[in-house]
C-alpha cells in the first residue's frame, strides 16, 4: 500500500466517523424540529418517481414550516426530514428503515416510492411501533396484513381501473362487456387486476383474454394479436410506464381497434408527450389531477399547487408528488390533534384523521388505506399535435365528455 | 379461450412473422457474442447492456431532431470505440484467464453500464418514433409494423457485410486466424492484441446497431439488457461459434419459440420458456457429447 492510499483511507474513515457521530445525535424531536425519516429511491430504476416523491415531501415541509409549523403543547415546531437513498432495492430499504430508527432515533416515518419498497419497510416500522404515513404504496396487500402503524393517503391499487369497467358497462347500455386484459407480474399490477376481476364479477362481464406480462418483457405483439382476433369491448393494460408505452406503440403499429382502452401510469410515462396522437383516447387511472376542486389552507387548490410546484422544480407535478405533499399535511394535522410526541398517541390521532387536502379527502380505513378519495379517470385528447389529459370521470370533476367508442385506426388521421 | 391460435389459424401467420422478424434481430446480437466468444473465449454478460446503450445513442439523436433510423449508422461507430476502450481498460486483463474471471468482469461492466445509463438518461422508459407505418396483409388480419421489417432488413444487410468483411479483409482474416489458433497467429506476425480489441469493438458495434433498432421497434430502459444477453447466449449455445447461418436460423427459431410459447403456454411463461429451453439444451448437449466420448473432463 503506498502512502497516498493510506492517507486516503485515513481520511475516508475519519469522515465516516464524523458523519456517524453527527447523525446519531439527532433524535425524534431536536430543538424546534420534528424529525421524520424516509428512504427514497434516488438512484436505480425507480429514481425518477423517487425524486418526484422527494420533491413532494420537500415542498410540503417548506410550506408548513413557512406558515408557522406544527403546534404541539403550545410550542411551534418545524418539520425536518432525514433522507437515505434506497437504490430502488427492497432489501436496502428495509436496512435503511432499521438504520433510521435505531441509529438516527427517528420516531416518525414517511413512505418510500412504490408498493414493493413500502412492503419491505412496513414490517420494520410495525416492529418498532413507528407510525408511517406513506403516499406511494397502493398495493392491496399492504392493507390486508393488519398493520397498525401504516397509513396511506392514496387509494388502493384494486380501485385504479374498477371505474373504467363500470364506465364500459354504462356505455354498453348497462349490459355486460367482454374484457381483454394484460397485467405485468408485480404486486401493484396484479392488484389492479384483482380490482378488474371484482368489477367483472359485479357487472357479469366476461374476461376473454387474461395475459400476465413478465417483468422483462417489452413486446406485447402476441397479446395484441389475440385482442385483434377476439375483438373485446375493453382492453385493460397495466405494467407501469413500460407497459403503457409498449402498449400504445404496438396498438398503433398493429392497428388494433378496441372501443375502449384503459391503462395506468399514463402520466408517469409522459404518454401524450412521447407518443403524441397515437395515445389519443387512452383512458388513464390517476390518483389526482390539478383540476379537482379540493382545497386546503397550505397549498390552496390543485391548480395553485401545480403552479407553485412548477415554480420550485421547473416541471408539472405528477400525482406522485401531490400525494407525497399530502402525507406531510396528514402528519401535521395528527401531531396537533395528538398534542404529543408519543408514538401511540400519534398513531391514535392518525387513525382518527378526517380532513381535506388539495390532493383529496383523507380518512383511513381499518387497514390504513385512504377510503375517502375516489380514483379519477382522464382521457388523452389531442388538438392538432398537442395532447392533453382531460378528466372524464367521476362526473363531478369531469372537464370533458368521455369519448366513446375510440374511432377505428382507418378513420384516424 | 384455450389455444386461440388453433381456432384462428391466421394468428399463426402473425405469430410466425413476428417471431422471425424479432429472431433476426436476436441473431444479430448473438452473432456479435459468438464472434468475440470464439476469438477471445469470453462470455460477455454485458452484451445486453451494450445493446441498450446503442439504443440510447439512437434515442439521443431522436431527441436532437434527427430521425432515429440514422442511429443504425451512427450508433455502431460510437459503440465500436466504446468496445475498443472497454477492451483496453478491462477485457485485456482477463482475456487469457479463466472463463469465470471474464464472466465476473463483464458482469461488473454490466452493472456499471446500467447505473451510468440510469444516471445519464434517467430511469424513465423511452421510445423513439420512426413513423414508418404498418404493412397490412390478408385483409388487415395480419399487421406488420414497418419498423420491424426495417430492423430485420438492416440486420440482414449488416450481417452479410460483416461476413464479406471477415472473408476478404486483412483484419477479418487476422481475426479468423486468431480464433483458430491465437499462438500460431501471433508467431506468424498477427498483432493479436489489436485483433482482440477490434473484435470487441465489432461486437459492440453490432450491439449498437441492434440497440438502435430496438429503440424504434420496442422500448428502452436502463435495466432491460439482461434478457438480450440471455437470448444471445442461448442462440450461441445452440448454433456454436463462428457459424453465421446457424446463428441466423437458431435466432429465428428462438423468436418463433417465444411467440408460440406466448400463445400456447401463456404470456407469463414467455421468458420462463426461454430459460427452460436453455436448461434443456445445455443438458441435452452434455448428454450428447458424453455419448460421443468427445467430452473430456
Please provide the DSSP assignment of A248-289 as one string: HHHHHHTT---SEEEES-TTTTTHHHHTGGGGTT-EEEES--
Judged by a CB distance cut-off of 8 A, whether residue B1 touches chain A is yes
Name the DSSP letter for residue B69.
G
Q: Which of A225, A245, A411 best tests the B interface by mutation, with the highest count of B CBs <10 A? A: A225
Instruction: Tell me how far CA of residue B221 lies from CA of A269, A346, B38, B118, in angstroms.
Output: 12, 41, 29, 8
Most confident by average pLDDT, A40-49, A81-90, A259-268 = A81-90
Show residues of chain B in contact with A193, CB under 8 Å.
Answer: none
Q: Write out chain A residues lying below 8 Å of B213, CB-based.
A: none
Portion 108-137 of B in contact with A at CB < 8 A? 115, 118-119, 122-127, 129, 134, 136
Instruction: Indicate whether B176 belongs to any domain.
Output: yes
Distance from C-alpha of B157 to C-alpha of B145, rounded to nearest angstrom: 19
**Burial degree of A176 (CB within 10 A; 0-12, 13-18, 19+):** middle
Chains A, B: CB contacts under 8 A, how many? Answer: 113
Q: Which residues of B touch A279 (CB under 8 A)?
A: none
B49 touches A at CB < 8 Å:
no
Nearest Cβ partner for A218 among B123, B224, B259 = B224
Set of cell numbers at residue A318: 405528477
pLDDT digits (tens, 9 = 90+) for A97-118: 999 999 988 999 999 998 889 9
The CA distances from residue B76 to A57, A320, B21, B51, in Å, are: 43, 38, 21, 10
Mean of the per-residue pLDDT values for chain A? 87
Determine the topology of domain A159-286+375-411 in CATH: Rossmann fold (3.40.50)
- Per-residue confidence (pLDDT) for residue A24, from 0 to 100: 44
B296 pLDDT band, cuts 50/70/90, is: very low
Q: A214–B267: do the CB atoms touch at under 8 Å?
A: yes
Closest CA to A112 of A174, A57, A168, A61: A57
Note the pLDDT tens digit of each residue in A163-178: 889 889 988 888 999 9
Is residue A281 exposed (0-12), middle (13-18) or buried (19+ Cβ within 10 Å)? buried
Confirm whether B279 is domain-assigned.
no
For residue A127, give every residue at least 6 positions away whose Cβ sits within 8 Å of its Cβ, in sequence order, or none: none
Q: Is the dihedral of CA B91, B96, B98, B99 positive or negative?
A: positive
- Tell how strand A75-85 and strand A70-72 pair up: antiparallel
pLDDT (0 to 100) of residue A357: 92
At B69-79, the pLDDT tens digits run 898 999 999 99
Question: Which residue on chain A is closest to B132 by alpha carbon?
Answer: A253
**What mean pLDDT comes out for the span A191-217?**
89
**Beta-carbon count within 10 A of A406 CB:** 20
Model pLDDT, residue B142: 84
pLDDT confidence tier of residue A19, bands split at 50, 70 and 90: low
Residues B174 and B10: their CA atoms lie apart, in Å, by 48
Q: Do domains A24-155+292-363 and A159-286+375-411 have the same CATH topology?
A: yes
Signed CA dihedral, A278, A282, A287, A291: sign only: positive
- The nearest alpha carbon in chain A to B119 belongs to A43
Parse chain A into domains and list their residue ranges: 24-155+292-363, 159-286+375-411
Q: Does residue B251 contact residue B27 with C-beta atoms inside 8 Å?
A: yes
Q: How many domains does chain B have?
A: 1
pLDDT tens, position by position, B202-219: 999 999 999 999 999 888
Phi, psi of B220 (to 5 degrees): -115, 145
A83 — pLDDT class (breaks 50, 70, 90): very high
Question: Which domain range does residue B190 map to?
Answer: 28-242
Nearest to A218 among B10, B123, B218 (CB): B218
Chain A interface test: which of B10, B14, B115, B125 (most A C-beta within 10 Å): B125
What stretches of chain B show up as alpha helix (H) in DSSP? 4-7, 10-40, 47-63, 71-89, 99-121, 146-168, 170-180, 182-187, 192-217, 226-239, 244-264, 270-291
B255 touches chain A (CB under 8 A): no
- Among A222, A265, A272, most B C-beta atoms within 10 A, so best to mutate, is A222
Alpha carbons A137 and A153: distance in angstroms, whole number: 9
In angstroms, the separation between the Cα of residue B58 and the nearest Cα of chain A is 15
User: Which chain B residues contact residue A185 at CB under 8 A?
Assistant: 268
Contacts of A228 in chain B (CB under 8 A): 141, 143
Residue B281 lies in a domain: no
Mutate to test the interface with A, among B262, B263, B265, B273 (most CBs of A within 10 A): B262
Among B124, B129, B263, the strongest candidate for a mutation testing the A interface, having the largest count of A CBs within 10 A, is B124
The dihedrals phi and psi of B142, each to the nearest 5 degrees, come to -120, 125
Label residue B1 by pLDDT band (50, 70, 90). Answer: very low
Interatomic CA distance for residues A256 and A275, integer angstroms: 16
String of DSSP letters for B115-156: HHHHHHH-SS-B-------EEEETTTTEEEEHHHHHHHHHHH
Predicted TM-score (pTM) of this structure: 0.81
Contact B224, A216 (CB under 8 A): yes
In chain B, residues with a C-beta closer than 8 Å to the C-beta of A212 are 266-268
Of the CATH numbers 3.40.50.2300, 3.40.30.10, 3.40.720.10, 3.40.50.300, which one belongs to the domain with range A24-155+292-363? 3.40.50.2300
Q: Which three cell numbers stand for residue A290?
A: 390539478
Residue B15 lies in a domain: no
Q: Which residues contact A25 (CB under 8 A, 6 or more apart)?
A: none
Higher pLDDT pick, B131 / A126:
A126
Please report which helix (H) or strand (E) contains residue A301, including its range. strand A300-301
Which residues of chain A does B227 touch, with a Cβ-Cβ cutoff of 8 Å?
216-217
Segment holding A208, helix H or strand E: strand A206-213
Question: Going by DSSP bridges, is the β-strand pair A132-134/A108-110 parallel, antiparallel, or unpaired?
Answer: parallel
Cell numbers for A392, please give them. Answer: 372524464
B118 in a structural domain = yes
Q: Taking a C-beta distance cutoff of 8 angstroms, is the pair B151, B27 a contact? A: no
CB contact under 8 A, B143 and A45: no
Phi, psi of A403 (to 5 degrees): -90, 120
State the pLDDT at residue B293.
60
Nearest-angstrom CA–CA distance, A219 and A221: 6
Q: Among partner residues A216, A229, A230, which is closest to B271 by beta-carbon distance?
A: A216
Residues of chain A in contact with residue B111, where contact means CB-CB under 8 angstroms, are: none
Amino acid at each position: 500500500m503506498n502512502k497516498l492510499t493510506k492517507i486516503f483511507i485515513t481520511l475516508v474513515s475519519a469522515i465516516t466517523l464524523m458523519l456517524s457521530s453527527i447523525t446519531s445525535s439527532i433524535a425524534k424531536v431536536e430543538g424546534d424540529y420534528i424529525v421524520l425519516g424516509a428512504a427514497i429511491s434516488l438512484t436505480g430504476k425507480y429514481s425518477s418517481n423517487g425524486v418526484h416523491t422527494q420533491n413532494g415531501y420537500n415542498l410540503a415541509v417548506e410550506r408548513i414550516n413557512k406558515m408557522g409549523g406544527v403546534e404541539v403543547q403550545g410550542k411551534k415546531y418545524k418539520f425536518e426530514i432525514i433522507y437515505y437513498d434506497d437504490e430502488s432495492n427492497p432489501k436496502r430499504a428495509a436496512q435503511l428503515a432499521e438504520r433510521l430508527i435505531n441509529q438516527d432515533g427517528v420516531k416518525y416515518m414517511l413512505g418510500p416510492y412504490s408498493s414493493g419498497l413500502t412492503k419491505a419497510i412496513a414490517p420494520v416500522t410495525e416492529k418498532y411501533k413507528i407510525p408511517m404515513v406513506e403516499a406511494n404504496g397502493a398495493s392491496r396487500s399492504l392493507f390486508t396484513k393488519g398493520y397498525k402503524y401504516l397509513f396511506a393517503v392514496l387509494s388502493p391499487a384494486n380501485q385504479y381501473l374498477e371505474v373504467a369497467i363500470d364506465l364500459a358497462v354504462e356505455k354498453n347500455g348497462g349490459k355486460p362487456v367482454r374484457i381483454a386484459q394484460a397485467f405485468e407480474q408485480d404486486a401493484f399490477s396484479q392488484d389492479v387486476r384483482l380490482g378488474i376481476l371484482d368489477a367483472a364479477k359485479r357487472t357479469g362481464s366476461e374476461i376473454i383474454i387474461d395475459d400476465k406480462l413478465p417483468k422483462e418483457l417489452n413486446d406485447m405483439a402476441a397479446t395484441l394479436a389475440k385482442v385483434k382476433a377476439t375483438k373485446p369491448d375493453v382492453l385493460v393494460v397495466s405494467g407501469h410506464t413500460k407497459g403503457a408505452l409498449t402498449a400504445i406503440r404496438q396498438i398503433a403499429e398493429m392497428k388494433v381497434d378496441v372501443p375502449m382502452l384503459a391503462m395506468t401510469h399514463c402520466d408517469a410515462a409522459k404518454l401524450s408527450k412521447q407518443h403524441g396522437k397515437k395515445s389519443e383516447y387512452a383512458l388513464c387511472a390517476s390518483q389526482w389531477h390539478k383540476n379537482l376542486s379540493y382545497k386546503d389552507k397550505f397549498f390552496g387548490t390543485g391548480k395553485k399547487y401545480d403552479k407553485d410546484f412548477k415554480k420550485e422544480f421547473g416541471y408539472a407535478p405528477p400525482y406522485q408528488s401531490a400525494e407525497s405533499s399530502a402525507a406531510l399535511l396528514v402528519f401535521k394535522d395528527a401531531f396537533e390533534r395528538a398534542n404529543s410526541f408519543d408514538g401511540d398517541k400519534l398513531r391514535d390521532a392518525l387513525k382518527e384523521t378526517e380532513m381535506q387536502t388539495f390532493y383529496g379527502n383523507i380518512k383511513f380505513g381499518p387497514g390504513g388505506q385512504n377510503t375517502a378519495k375516489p380514483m379519477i379517470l382522464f382521457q388523452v385528447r389531442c388538438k392538432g399535435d398537442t395532447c392533453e389529459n382531460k378528466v372524464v370521470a367521476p362526473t363531478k370533476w369531469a372537464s370533458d365528455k368521455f369519448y366513446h367508442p375510440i374511432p377505428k385506426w382507418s378513420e384516424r388521421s | 379461450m384455450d389455444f386461440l391460435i388453433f381456432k384462428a389459424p391466421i394468428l399463426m401467420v402473425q405469430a410466425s412473422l413476428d417471431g422471425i422478424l424479432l429472431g433476426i434481430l436476436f441473431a444479430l446480437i448473438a452473432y456479435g457474442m459468438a464472434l468475440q466468444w470464439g476469438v477471445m473465449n469470453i462470455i460477455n454478460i454485458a452484451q445486453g447492456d451494450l445493446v441498450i446503450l446503442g439504443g440510447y445513442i439512437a434515442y439521443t439523436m431522436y431527441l436532437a431532431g434527427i430521425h432515429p433510423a440514422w442511429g443504425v449508422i451512427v450508433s455502431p461507430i460510437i459503440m465500436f470505440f466504446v468496445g475498443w476502450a472497454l477492451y483496453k481498460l478491462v477485457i485485456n486483463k482477463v482475456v487469457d484467464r479463466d472463463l469465470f474471471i471474464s464472466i465476473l468482469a463483464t458482469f461488473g461492466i454490466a452493472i456499471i453500464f446500467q447505473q451510468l445509463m440510469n444516471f445519464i438518461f434517467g430511469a424513465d422508459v423511452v421510445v423513439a418514433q420512426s413513423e414508418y407505418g404498418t404493412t397490412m396483409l390478408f385483409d388487415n388480419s395480419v399487421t406488420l409494423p414497418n419498423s420491424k421489417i426495417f430492423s430485420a432488413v438492416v440486420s440482414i444487410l449488416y450481417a452479410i457485410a460483416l461476413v464479406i468483411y471477415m472473408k476478404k479483409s486483412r483484419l477479418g482474416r487476422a481475426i479468423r486466424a486468431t480464433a483458430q489458433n491465437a499462438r500460431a497467429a501471433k508467431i506468424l506476425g498477427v498483432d493479436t492484441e489489436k485483433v482482440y480489441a477490434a473484435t470487441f469493438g465489432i461486437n459492440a458495434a453490432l450491439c449498437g446497431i441492434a440497440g438502435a433498432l430496438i429503440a424504434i421497434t420496442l422500448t428502452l430502459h436502463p435495466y432491460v439488457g439482461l434478457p438480450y444477453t440471455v437470448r444471445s447466449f442461448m442462440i450461441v449455445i445452440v448454433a456454436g461459434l463462428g457459424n453465421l447461418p446457424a446463428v441466423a436460423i437458431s435466432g429465428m427459431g428462438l423468436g418463433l419459440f417465444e411467440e408460440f410459447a406466448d400463445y400456447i403456454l401463456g404470456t407469463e411463461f414467455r421468458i420462463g420458456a426461454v430459460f427452460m429451453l436453455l436448461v434443456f439444451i445445455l443438458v441435452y448437449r452434455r448428454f450428447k457429447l458424453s455419448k460421443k466420448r468427445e467430452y473430456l473432463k
